[in-house]
Amino acid sequence: MIKSILKRTPLYQALRFVRSKRAARTWTPFDKRMLDFYRQYIGPGDLCFDIGANIGNRTKIFLALEARVVSVEPQRDCASLITAAYGNDQKLIVVNKAVGATHGRAELVISDASPLASLSREWIHAVQNSGRFSDYSWSRTQWVDVITLDELIAEHGMPRFIKIDVEGYEYEVLKGLTQPVDTLSLEFTPEFLEQTMMCIKYLKSLGSIELNYSLKESMELCLDKWTNGDAIADILKRFQGDNIMYGDLYVRFLRRLVR
């Protein structure tokens, strides 16, 4: 309880600010691994969307790859930290909003113990019951503006890469996209695999796709060759019930379906 209260104080927020500024200047071995991994998708001048940017650990990497980055984060504190740490880079645009299926407003639920937040109460319930985040309290809420991926594309252009990490809200984010993009990634957890399958099905409706995946923060693709949606679905089902596992699904479009 005391730790939870302290995390809401101005002193704690100031400490997070200092740490964020330090993280922007410091390169860790993991940062270098991320840089090498994302280089296969992103090059100088490419446009990237960092959806669910949190405190900007991927934004940092995309900027280092000399990409133009639209960093989208609904939490006010986190968006402010990104701006403070990287805002001097002219290649960065920070958008303090959420992304969803339609334009509007939504209630963001924020964990008291970390910058973890979600627009999906169903996901929060699932990860609490599984034990993944059973020690976390989710007592804070914040109303946020919601935009769509289509709106972001209309305003900023077609991205080369979209990273989506929105704690169980991935399907809603994708429903706001009605056109294929080059490559995107989205997080998956075994507790919410049904939603991941819905994401795959929806993306297949936009165009011909091939997929790969990585586990945890390995920064390595698990498959030597990219495969189709059915094969990936069969692979991911093997993780059902493994509540310490998580990963990212990588999807690239081959061609647009004729409608």
Alpha carbon distance 53, 49 (integer Å): 9
pLDDT of residue 256: 60
Identify the CATH number of the domain in which residue 24 sits.
Answer: 3.40.50.150
For residue 6, is pLDDT > 50? no
Which pLDDT tens digit goes with each residue over 94-108?
999 999 999 999 999
Number of structural domains in the chain: 1
Which pLDDT tens digit goes with each residue over 123-160?
888 887 766 766 778 889 999 999 999 999 999 999 99
Beta strands in the chain (DSSP E): 47-51, 68-72, 92-95, 98-99, 104-110, 117-118, 140-147, 161-164, 183-188, 207-215, 247-256
Which pLDDT tens digit goes with each residue over 198-255?
999 999 999 999 999 999 999 999 999 999 999 999 999 998 877 778 999 999 999 7
pLDDT of residue 243: 72
Residue 87 domain boundaries: 2-256
Higher pLDDT, 9 or 67: 67
pLDDT of residue 192: 83
| Percent of the chain residues past pLDDT 70, beyond the cut | 87
